[in-house]
Amino acid sequence: MIVVIMGVSGCGKTEVGSQLANKDRQPWLCKLHNLITSDEARGHHVVLACSALKKAYRETLATGTNLCTSDRQQQENLDPDIFFIHLQGSQKLISERIQKRTGHFMPVDLLASQFDTLEPPTAPEHFMTVNVEKDISQIVSEIQGVLEGKV
């Protein structure tokens, strides 16, 4: 399903859309899980960009299980082929980057709530954390080095 929130400027599209997305996240995460595991099953390497701020969201991406499942044993079923790369930086730095963007959907005033929501990955999740203060080519090289050791 594709939902388009529309209306004149200032009517609350961003706020309504953000809150609606938070309440409708489960089917979307399950579809992403199905998409990435389907591509992987066909022998494709998959790169997915997704905020995945909460541990439960990453569990759904990695296992396909429901966010509402009370059985936390799903952590033991995390697909070792799904590797999360947490791009981490200070709120100040990321705020400055967002302010320099033009035509992007993310308003800088929502950034604080994302930092408040963020649950950084921890074991047993399969992940690495990369500091975004580095040059993009350095970040990519660092990630490639770790991924090459996993292939």
What's the number of domains the chain is made of? 1
Q: Classify residue 82: in a domain, yes or no.
A: yes
Report the candidate in 72, 49, 47, 48 with the shortest Cα–Cα distance to residue 59.
Answer: 72
Whole-structure pTM value: 0.76
Per-residue pLDDT tens, the chain, 151 aa: give them: 455 666 676 666 777 777 766 667 778 888 888 888 898 899 988 888 888 899 988 998 888 876 544 444 555 566 667 889 999 999 999 888 888 877 766 778 888 888 999 999 999 998 999 999 998 999 999 999 998 887 5
Helix ranges restricted to H, the chain? 13-23, 25-41, 55-63, 91-100, 111-117, 136-148
Report the candidate in 30, 27, 28 with the shortest Cα–Cα distance to residue 61.
Answer: 30
Half-sphere exposure at residue 128, Cβ-oriented, CA atoms within 13 angstroms: 14
Q: Classify residue 57: in a domain, yes or no.
A: yes
Determine the Cα–Cα distance for residues 95 and 112; give it in Å rounded to an integer. Answer: 9
Q: What is the CATH number of the domain that holds 63?
A: 3.40.50.300
Q: Classify residue 8: in a domain, yes or no.
A: no
Q: Classify residue 6: in a domain, yes or no.
A: no
Q: Classify residue 112: in a domain, yes or no.
A: yes
Q: Classify residue 23: in a domain, yes or no.
A: yes
Host domain of residue 18: 13-148
Q: Classify residue 3: in a domain, yes or no.
A: no
